[in-house]
Amino acid sequence: MTVRAAVILMLATQIAVGVGVLTVLAGNAWAFAVLAAGGSFAGTVAFARSVIG
């Protein structure tokens, strides 16, 4: 794994965890939080690949 890939995955993981926690704290179900976190992870990876690339 390259340093670029590690940075992108770490950034995406941190943002996904943040989104998941904030979704649960907002009063939504865990299933919705997991879906929101997964979507934000995918979006962050796509965005970071284009910006850092």
Q: Using one digit for the tens of pLDDT, what is the confidence trace for 6-41? A: 999 999 999 999 999 999 999 999 999 999 999 999
Residue 53: the pLDDT is: 75
Specify the pLDDT at position 22. 98
Residue 48, pLDDT above cutoff 90: yes
**CA distances in angstroms from 31 to 19, 20, 26, 37, 51, listed in the order given:** 13, 10, 13, 10, 30
**Structural domain that includes position 40:** 3-52
Token pair belonging to 44? 């962050």
pLDDT at residue number 8: 96
Looking at the structure of the chain, the number of domains it has is 1
